[in-house]
Structure 1
Amino acid sequence: MSDPLKLTTLCLNYAPELTGIAVYTSGLSEGLAHADLAVHVVTGYPHYPEWRIHDGYTGLGRVERDSGVTLTRLRHPVPRHPRLANRLVMELVFGLRSILTNWKKPDVVLLVTPALFATGLAMLKARLTRTPTCIWVQDIYSLGVHESGMGGKLPARLLRRIERRILNSANEVVVIHERFKRYLTEELHIDADRIDVVRNWSHVDGGDLSRREHVRRARGWAPDDIVVLHAGNMGAKQGLENVVNASEIASAEGSKVRFVLLGDGNQRAALHARGSNSRLEFIDPLPEAEFSAVLAAADILLVNERPGLTEMSVPSKLTTYFSTGLPVIAATDAQSITAEEIERAGGGLRVNAGSPGALVEAAEDLGTDPELSARLGVAGRLYTAQTLAAAPAIEQFRGILLRVARGTASGDNDGAKLDAGAADVVLAEPKVAAPVSGVLNVK
């Protein structure tokens, strides 16, 4: 029997983080390991979205084995209040430590960005060792700095040049949305033939409806409350001040709309201090089963983005939301990727970002129209089944990595070594949600 393809993945985020990028790096690694690839992951210490290293993770590094994946964890600084400069320090420290780590002579290296600067450092080592590379773009780094206003125009222009250079040096680039590919080809001038689109997948089952009434009573939600729930990270790009403002309008008008913010993030304390009224509730991150039950007990699920965000990221919470059968409201700019996803899925309504009154009005409209809500929920579930399934996405990714390792991607793959028999593996249904005890949340 031939040796399996050896993959080393470098990523800052991995389980037991169950928010954002970690969900996909963990799910892909486990799925590929189940498909008989030898998967080694070099990753950081779990810290997101709390922006502190999780309890129990001590020392400078550790080696773990989980679901067929070998993990090398490296400690790095974690900024309590992330900004461009201190996030750069975190990425550079992780990147430097990762290139000094034994990669176990892989046939191909998969690099995940963010973290862009760790990816750039790893590309240097890959070139020196003549190892084929694939970069997986979860967020467009330079665009994020520009749209979020984190660093000003000059840093954004510099980051754009750095990002272009790093992505152009890879043998293959994988992006999570067609809009990302268009931006990379038109704005960063990456060869379209070297870019593949692999959609992020739905990583949790639909909501647990059996406990719906019990959860609502336990939470103090009245039968006629219209519960609008936002699950996931509470950071700058979510612009959740809009939700606080909407709750104040609902409270002042005697509306039945109740806004619930479930999760954590570096803006949570400020949001909590700012908003205190009867139509706003904060819930800490929850264990998986309880999370699913609370999600299902809501009436509407919310994506909220700060005004001006159009291209930088795809909110992965939509992959969870659409699987529940509940309608979605997206408070986002009309030209955003999120707006495009809502329209494509047919699973929700869009209101303008930063318009709290419109958000309250849309919630009241949906909450009093069960036919429309049901129709949107069914459309979201159908979109999940047709577009956001895990197994086809991971199988597509496996094919890309095999191609890069063979040297049949369009870049320079002189260092690739692969026994042809490695292509004969059959993809098993992956375990895409990490089993590690903790919380389940979404980006």
Structure 2
Amino acid sequence: MKNPKILLISHNFYPELTGIGKYNGEMIEWLSKNHYDCTVITTFPYYPHWRVQKPYNNRWYKKEVINYKNSDNPVTVYRCPSYIPEKPTGKRRMVQDMSFWFFKSWVIFKLMLSSKKFDLIITVAPPFHLAYLGLMVKNYSGGKLLYHIQDLQIEAAQDLGMLSSKKLLDKLYDIEYNILSKADYISSISEGMIDKIKAKVDKEVLFFPNWADTSFFFPVLQRDTLKTNWGYQPEDVIFLYSGAIGEKQGLENIIYAADLLRHDQLIKFIICGSGPYRDKLIKLAEEKGLNNINFVPVQDKEKFNEFLNLGDFHLVLQKANAGDLVMPSKLTTILAVGGASIVTCSPGTSLHNVVSKHDLGYIIEPESYQLLADGILMAKNDKAVADVKRENARKYALEFLDIDNVMSTFMGRVSKEPVPVVQVI
């Protein structure tokens, strides 16, 4: 019996360590190890730095073959050039998406003219319109199209003020509906996002959550030793943010909260990551003369488990208008290491429901640095309760986020016939 053939089309892929690229890379590795023949069309790694990373910089097209350990199925990766904006505004990201679409189309045409056929074609949004490349392959060569939605890109751009033209927004929503209606399978990462998608098109939307590698990421009990290795005192209480540094998180509130709490000599902040707003945050911290906050670059995967265990508490911040348009991917790894989280989210969102139902952290109203500072102070003085939340986090990760459970369940679902589309009026 031949191995099923899968084609992934996405902006982001290994070796990106955060966001969509992380999950795409781990998904393809799992599929390869479980007897799937995988091909990937992507660009060169750039996220979250918003510049192409060495040794991939100054490249045009590139073909790679990845051989994963304990896998007999090499993965073929086609990397295409793309415009990467140093400062990703809404308009510049649209240009990026279109440039990527254009450069990828040449590889798509080449594959279509080859003899290779795919059983399943996966496109990952954002960008939402990338699915048209998958539809091209499907219509020419056959196979089923899976349209997986990590972020509701159009709503996020609208609510964050990145796009304001009603005419343009209406056109984008029409394009999105066309994609939703033609996809054989639609999936997303949270119940809240699934509900929003179902409001657009009356069609089954599969639950395909982001996962955690619970064997690679796990609790380390010697936190005091980790603190010493990083230049902190064992009694310091570290509040850690690790992830993309962009507009939708509202990370400036960490700086304002650190300013309010500067009198507490034990409270320390670490912001780890890269992104278009990192320099602005550093400048803001310098203007306030803060010495209780450190900025560190993205950590290598080999060191990342220890680094996450360095934090006594983890900051998971979102603006109120982000709602269920995005689901912070960083949370899964935090839960895997048994991290207690301080989460800013609104009632009724998937993030709020999960954290409150399973007692995974402290929930704070979004966009209030005073409430964030109050929550940080409460968590610091709440050791017994915090330990319970850490135990709950690890338990939740093992039960619901294990990659083997998530992937095997989902791949079983997409083996079924897709549901016919009915437009929502």
Q: Same fold (TM over 0.5)?
A: yes
CA distance in 2, matches of 1:241, 1:328: 18
Correspondence for 2:24: 25
Deviations 1:266-299 (A, max 9, x none): 1101110111302221111122233222221221
Contact preservation (8 Å) 1:41, 1:70? yes
CA distance in 1, matches of 2:203, 2:405: 25
**1:153 to 1:309, Cα distance in 2 relative to 1, 3 A:** farther
**Alignment match of 1:85 (pick from 81, 84, 91):** 91
**Alignment match of 1:151 (pick from 160, 163, 166):** 163
The correspondence of residues 116-131 of structure 1 with structure 2, limited to 5 A, is 116-131=128-143
User: Does residue 368 of structure 1 match 2:381?
Assistant: yes
The correspondence of residues 175-324 of structure 1 with structure 2, limited to 5 A, is 175-186=188-199, 188-192=200-204, 195-203=205-213, 205-207=216-218, 209=220, 212-251=223-262, 253-254=263-264, 256-276=266-286, 277-324=290-337
Displacement after TM superposition at 1:39 (Å):
0.7
The correspondence of residues 26-105 of structure 1 with structure 2, limited to 5 A, is 26-57=25-56, 58-66=58-66, 67=68, 68-101=74-107, 102-103=110-111, 104-105=116-117
CA distance in 2, matches of 1:396, 1:411: 22
Displacement after TM superposition at 1:110 (Å):
1.0
Displacement after TM superposition at 1:249 (Å):
0.7
Displacement after TM superposition at 1:153 (Å):
5.4
Contact preservation (8 Å) 1:141, 1:163? no
Deviations 1:236-284 (A, max 9, x none): 1111011111111111x44632221011111101110111302221111
CA distance in 1, matches of 2:17, 2:337: 18
Deviations 1:117-146 (A, max 9, x none): 222343244324444211111111112112
Structure with more relative contact order (C-alpha pairs < 8 Å, separation 6 or more): 1
CA distance in 1, matches of 2:149, 2:178: 14
Amino acid at match of 2:19: G
Amino acid at match of 2:254: V
Task: Using the aligned pairs only, state the percent identity.
Answer: 22
User: Does residue 387 of structure 1 match 2:396?
Assistant: no
CA distance in 2, matches of 1:70, 1:121: 18
Amino acid at match of 2:151: D
User: Does residue 399 of structure 1 match 2:412?
Assistant: yes
User: Does residue 142 of structure 1 match 2:154?
Assistant: yes
**1:28 to 1:254, Cα distance in 2 relative to 1, 3 A:** closer
Amino acid at match of 1:99: S
The SS at the match of 1:78 is coil
Contact preservation (8 Å) 2:121, 2:134? no
Contact preservation (8 Å) 1:99, 1:125? no
The SS at the match of 2:54 is coil
Root-mean-square deviation over aligned CA pairs: 1.9
Deviations 1:57-101 (A, max 9, x none): 133111111123211111111111112222122222222232321
Displacement after TM superposition at 1:208 (Å):
5.6
Deviations 1:12-71 (A, max 9, x none): 100110110111111111111111111111111110000001112133111111123211
The SS at the match of 2:211 is coil
- Bigger mean CA deviation after superposition, 288-297 or 260-269: 288-297
CA distance in 2, matches of 1:378, 1:210: 12
Correspondence for 1:427: none
User: Does residue 332 of structure 1 match 2:342?
Assistant: no
CA distance in 2, matches of 1:206, 1:122: 33
Correspondence for 2:186: 173
Amino acid at match of 2:281: L
User: Does residue 409 of structure 1 match 2:418?
Assistant: yes
Amino acid at match of 1:379: N
The SS at the match of 1:184 is helix
The SS at the match of 2:247 is coil
**1:147 to 1:370, Cα distance in 2 relative to 1, 3 A:** same
TM-score, structure 2 normalization: 0.90
Deviations 1:319-359 (A, max 9, x none): 01111222110022234332222113311011111111221
**1:333 to 1:296, Cα distance in 2 relative to 1, 3 A:** same
Correspondence for 1:435: none
CA distance in 1, matches of 2:302, 2:106: 39
Displacement after TM superposition at 1:302 (Å):
0.8
Correspondence for 1:111: 123
CA distance in 1, matches of 2:188, 2:373: 34
Deviations 1:181-221 (A, max 9, x none): 111112x12413xx211111113534562552233124332
Deviations 1:360-385 (A, max 9, x none): 22122221221101111111111111
Contact preservation (8 Å) 1:92, 1:118? no
TM-score, structure 1 normalization: 0.86
Contact preservation (8 Å) 2:180, 2:201? no
Correspondence for 1:416: none
**1:156 to 1:220, Cα distance in 2 relative to 1, 3 A:** farther
- Bigger mean CA deviation after superposition, 197-206 or 301-310: 197-206
CA distance in 1, matches of 2:231, 2:348: 37
Contact preservation (8 Å) 1:212, 1:294? no
Amino acid at match of 1:59: R
Contact preservation (8 Å) 1:211, 1:293? no
Equivalent pairs, count: 403
